[in-house]
Chain A
């Protein structure tokens, strides 16, 4: 089953990329869920779509952008959106939860307009929306590899601070942790991971890789550390089985990865029935 992934270069790339994403997305997802921000990943993935569409549109008119990997523009939009959400939360002081649907709608709306203008309603767009096993190029692989290293370093450096902030924000601020800086740093990393995961999992499904493994892990874990371990294990299982089965069944990998995740979640819910999550 899996041998074929080592015979062809592009399949090897997508497998390794998938493994990196299967580690990063659930790991950051744990922080997101504990801080009750899980919806932010949906908003950011939608805004990434407008970034990619914008890059495709520019590519039609300026040769410079045609050669540029659309991932960069997607990342830029994603990070911009992440910072903008924080601003919107201040505008709607009484309805803070509005910020996410507003960004989500604006992101996808602008994305659709850009795509229309670029005449991009073709199979390529479907790969962006739902992922693809064969779309990973060497440049994507390298970019995501660098990102994984950066994210890992960040996690090692700031694990304690984020941990503290997630559980007792007031106490953390009192003890002198720079909340704003750390929070912004965290959201920027989430934005980058979302943009990176997009190639394999697809824009519409990235957020599920950040929430579903964590939702299953919550049911099992007895502590915060265990939650990371379970979430990453579930994430990796889903990515590998999803990729392999998607290749053999010729369906969108994003869909298969999510289906495996849901299966894991359902099994977890059934086995841990009666437990308060």
Chain B
């Protein structure tokens, strides 16, 4: 713990970034095979509502001013992930409507709350677009703790999650409780989103979850490879993004995402070239 306290603000940011670069693609791989990567966008937007609500409450109600907005963000994100499931049942014929509804309401409510909470716009920009220099020691603890929790959940249920992701009906017949696992999965995604938010920014968390696995699935030959390559791509994007944003003085989240896009383009080119090669031989 004492080592952690001696870290400079930049080191804190880099450590936080590395943890996020590891866990986001890990969860992203499961989202990808379950075809619900878009859910990360919806949850990140609802996390913004939680954050704005946290900031607003801490301003409006004095005895609440100790509340770290990250915690309210996590609570909202969790509620949102459960609500998406509920909405899917209501709109049985238009299930894909659930995500845009949650996404819009999340961002709409936060727009109102931002206007009401009279903070400076600059504070919001660091939540929206991420910034490694604002990672405090408390935030780092939050990120480490949630990262650990996410790893534990994933480790404990890896096999069950895998089986559900690839063949839900088969998983059910083998006696896996789908509802319970889906709940844990929702908790997992909510954890990952709220932990990544501080570094990458709310609007870009979805990118961190999607882009590395979208790149790795192009060249990976198995699910394990998707995960491993995804993590490598995620960390590369993270490091490149942090370094470039520091030297060029650009918002961190933006550069991380652009690095992710570049990796995606390269893998697509590699795939195309190797395919052309095998076709020619």
Which residues of A approach B to under 8 Å, CB–CB?
33, 36, 38-39, 41-42, 46, 91-92, 95, 97-98, 100-102, 104-106, 108-113, 115-117, 121-123, 125-126, 129-131, 202, 204-205, 207-208, 211-212, 215, 218, 250-252, 254-259, 261-262, 265, 269, 276-277
CA distance A252 to B32 in the complex (A): 35
The proximity string for B residues 86-128 relative to A, scoring 1 for CB distances below 8 Å and 0 otherwise, is: 0000111110110111011101111111111000011011001
A95-B35, A117-B250, A205-B108 known; A105+B93 contact, CB < 8 A: no
Cβ contacts A to B, 16 pairs, < 8 Å: A38-B96, A42-B103, A95-B214, A97-B35, A105-B204, A108-B207, A109-B204, A110-B261, A112-B201, A113-B254, A116-B249, A121-B122, A130-B115, A218-B97, A259-B109, A277-B93
CA distance A252 to B107 in the complex (A): 11
Q: Which residues of B are found within 8 Å of A104, using beta-carbon distances? A: 41, 206-207
Q: Which residues of A are found within 8 Å of B116, using beta-carbon distances? A: 251
Least CB distance from B79 to A in Å reads 15
CB pair B108 A259 closer than 8 Å = yes
CA distance A46 to B110 in the complex (A): 17
CB pair A258 B107 closer than 8 Å = yes
A104-B41, A116-B251, A122-B121 known; A255+B108 contact, CB < 8 A: yes
CB pair A212 B217 closer than 8 Å = no
Kindly identify, within residues 109 to 152 of chain B, every residue whose CB is under 8 Å from any CB belonging to chain A.
Answer: 109-116, 121-122, 124-125, 128-129
A33-B94, A215-B91, A215-B101 known; A256+B257 contact, CB < 8 A: no
- Give how many A-B residue pairs fall within 8 Å (CB-CB): 191
CB pair B254 A277 closer than 8 Å = no
Q: Which of B38, B45, B110, B255 contacts A101 (CB 8 A)?
A: B38
CA distance A125 to B254 in the complex (A): 15
Least CB distance from A216 to B in Å reads 10
Indicate the size class of the contact surface on chain B.
35 or more
**B189 interface hit (Cβ, 8 Å):** no
**B37 interface hit (Cβ, 8 Å):** yes
CA distance A110 to B207 in the complex (A): 12
CB pair A102 B264 closer than 8 Å = yes
Given contacts A95-B214, A98-B214, A262-B109, 13 further A-B contacts (CB under 8 A): A42-B41, A105-B261, A106-B207, A106-B257, A106-B258, A116-B251, A121-B251, A204-B111, A205-B111, A207-B100, A208-B107, A258-B105, A277-B90
CB pair B115 A250 closer than 8 Å = yes
The proximity string for B residues 246-281 relative to A, scoring 1 for CB distances below 8 Å and 0 otherwise, is: 000111011111101100100010000000000000
**B220 interface hit (Cβ, 8 Å):** no
Q: Which residues of B are found within 8 Å of A98, using beta-carbon distances? A: 32, 37, 210, 214
Least CB distance from B2 to A in Å reads 35
CB pair B115 A113 closer than 8 Å = no
Q: Which residues of B are found within 8 Å of A212, using beta-carbon distances? A: 101, 104-105
CB pair A101 B41 closer than 8 Å = yes
Q: Which of A39, A106, A218 contacts B96 (CB 8 A)?
A: A39
A207-B103, A211-B97 known; A262+B108 contact, CB < 8 A: yes
**B47 interface hit (Cβ, 8 Å):** no
Least CB distance from A38 to B in Å reads 5
Report, nearest first, the 7 A-B pairs whose CB atoms are least far apart.
Answer: A258-B108, A109-B257, A208-B104, A255-B111, A112-B254, A105-B207, A251-B115
Q: Which residues of A are found within 8 Å of B207, using beta-carbon distances? A: 101, 104-106, 108-109
CB pair A38 B111 closer than 8 Å = no
CA distance A104 to B255 in the complex (A): 15
Least CB distance from B123 to A in Å reads 11
CA distance A41 to B96 in the complex (A): 13
**B211 interface hit (Cβ, 8 Å):** yes
Q: Which residues of B are found within 8 Å of A204, using beta-carbon distances? A: 45, 107, 111, 203
Which residue from chain B places its CB closest to the CB of A99 in the assembled complex?
B214
CB pair B109 A112 closer than 8 Å = no
Which residue from chain A places its CB closest to the CB of B253 in the assembled complex?
A112
CB pair B112 A259 closer than 8 Å = yes
CA distance A220 to B92 in the complex (A): 15
